[in-house]
Amino acid sequence: MPVPQSEKKSVPIDIPPLEQKKLWVALNMAPGVGVRLFHRLLRYFGSPEKVFRASHRELTSVEGIGAKTADEIIKLDVVGRADREFRLLDNLGARVLTLESPEYPALLKSIYDPPPVLYCMGKKLNEFPVCLAIVGTRQLTSYGKTVAEELSKRLAQRGICIVSGMARGIDTIAHRAALQAGGSTLAVFGNGLAHTYPPENFKLRKEIAENGAVLSEFPMSMKPDRNNFPARNRLISGLSYGALVVEAGEKSGALITAHFALEQGRDVFSVPGKINSKASVGCNRLIKMGAKLVDGPDAILEELPPSALALLKPEALEIPTKDLSEKEKILVALLAEDEKHIDFLIENSSLTPAEVSATLVQLELKGRISQRDGKMFYVAYSS
């Protein structure tokens, strides 16, 4: 029996190729159509255009599409909804990718439920072929801050793009450290690009867009919502060769990212912490469950496939010393492997206490080392 014309969705008969992208956006915004239903519709009908041309009966023949969702698809103002979304894109200088876009990251496309639509600002995503997720708690300790900064900087200097969620705490530290090292970073949002969350990271967001990219699978105007963050975490791991958890409490959202990484066949790395530190409970548990213990960048680099290693910069982990005095070189060499207490430097440098103190000050002024509580010093791998 022929389908009554009244049941058909009204869309233009001839849709230019450039307009096809708008149909992807419209379907992505249809009430009741999440990522998995979008993929089912795409597999069943072949394209968003054919979905919008389908009848109510045809739509409800797809698993998971009930009468209510079919009604929402049929009555959706496809042209109006897409045009409004693209005006927002133009106003912010953003762009949209679909699974058919050449720029769509191959690693992300390979996961079980890749987002059909990605909203992006910044450089093209295929300019970052080797990505690593670095995530952790919002309530970081000074130890977590130090470790996240050093690992992010040193990995970024090797050409690895640092991926995180721009949340407060470890995420923010990882993004900033990558930028300070002259590297690249991707920030994945749990909201639409018309909003910045947390709001105090607005300046950081701008810097990331200039030196990397910000992206989201959510429509432009969607506000931050805690229910969106697990989906955001799935993208963070999906874009990356592996996920490194720096600090995570027992119920940290970073553990969700690690869980998605395992499901997606990615490596999971974890930084060990004190056994009595609440901020390290999640990390230590991951290691007990089989995550690789990370005590430096090499622990991550040796797990990357040869094809990824070939894209990195082998010389970048070397500590440049051309602009240092002989005394400064001595102290930097002592600090190369790990942070050290000032007493250790005095005992092992052949310099007097006064010379060590003065030289440390000079190195700090040059931005070559940093100090944390307790007179502990470490190399600041900045550009």
Residues 300 and 330 in one domain: no
pLDDT band for 317, please (50, 70, 90 cuts).
Answer: very low
User: What CATH number should be reported for the domain holding residue 77?
Assistant: 1.10.150.20
Least confident of 132-141, 176-185, 191-200, 321-330: 321-330
Does residue 104 lie in a domain region? no
User: What CATH number should be reported for the domain holding residue 179?
Assistant: 3.40.50.450
Does residue 218 lie in a domain region? yes
**How buried is residue 278: exposed, middle or buried, by Cβ count under 10 Å (0-12/13-18/19+)?**
middle
Name the pTM for this structure: 0.79
242-256 pLDDT tens trace = 999 999 988 888 999
3-class SS letters over the chain:
CCCCHHHCCCCCCCCCHHHHHHHHHHHHHCCCCCHHHHHHHHHHHCCHHHHHHCCHHHHHCCCCCCHHHHHHHHHCCHHHHHHHHHHHHHHHCCEEEECCCCCCCHHHHCCCCCCCEEEEEECCHHHCCCEEEEECCCCCCHHHHHHHHHHHHHHHHCCCEEEECCCCCHHHHHHHHHHHCCCCEEEECCCCCCCCCCHHHHHHHHHHHHHCEEEECCCCCCCCCHHHHHHHHHHHHHCCCEEEECCCCCCCCHHHHHHHHHHCCCEEEECCCCCCCHHHHHHHHHHHCCCEECCCHHHHHCCCCHHHHCCCCCCCCCCCCCCCCHHHHHHHHHHCCCCEEHHHHHHHCCCCHHHHHHHHHHHHHCCCEEEECCCEEEECCCC
| Domain stops at, among 91, 109, 144 | 91
Residues 68 and 134 in one domain: no
Residues 302 and 334 in one domain: no
Does residue 316 lie in a domain region? no
Query: Closest Cα partner for 51 from 60, 42, 39, 61?
Result: 42
Residues 164 and 260 in one domain: yes
Rounded to an integer, the average pLDDT of 67-93 is 92
CA distance 144 to 77: 49
pLDDT band for 166, please (50, 70, 90 cuts).
Answer: very high
Number of compact structural domains in the chain: 3
pLDDT on residue 340: 87
10-52 pLDDT tens trace = 455 455 555 789 999 999 999 999 999 999 999 999 999 999 9
Q: Are 202 and 105 in contact (CB under 8 A)?
A: no
Does residue 258 lie in a domain region? yes
pLDDT band for 270, please (50, 70, 90 cuts).
Answer: very high
Q: Which domain holds residue 21?
A: 5-91
Q: Are 137 and 169 in contact (CB under 8 A)?
A: yes
pLDDT on residue 96: 96
User: What CATH number should be reported for the domain holding residue 357?
Assistant: 1.10.10.10
212-246 pLDDT tens trace = 999 999 999 999 998 899 999 999 999 999 999 99
Residues 57 and 125 in one domain: no
What does pLDDT average to over the chain?
A: 88
Per-residue tokens: 298: 């090499």
48 or 2, greater pLDDT: 48
112 or 381, greater pLDDT: 112
Does residue 320 lie in a domain region? no
Residues 228 and 341 in one domain: no
Residue 282 carries which side chain, given as an amino acid letter? G
Least confident of 55-59, 348-352, 364-368: 364-368
Per-residue tokens: 103: 């720029």
CA distance 201 to 174: 13
Q: Are 261 and 243 in contact (CB under 8 A)?
A: yes
Q: Cα–Cα–Cα angle for 300, 136, 191, nearest 5°?
A: 115
123-163 pLDDT tens trace = 999 899 899 999 999 989 999 999 999 999 989 988 999 99
Does residue 111 lie in a domain region? no
| Domain stops at, among 44, 76, 91 | 91
Contacts of 51 (CB under 8 A, 6+ apart): 27, 41, 42, 45, 59, 73
Q: Cα–Cα–Cα angle for 159, 190, 48, nearest 5°?
A: 95
Residues 256 and 123 in one domain: yes
User: What φ, ψ does residue 81 adopt, rounded to 5°?
Assistant: -65, -45
Look-up of token digits 């987002």: 115
Look-up of token digits 């959510």: 218
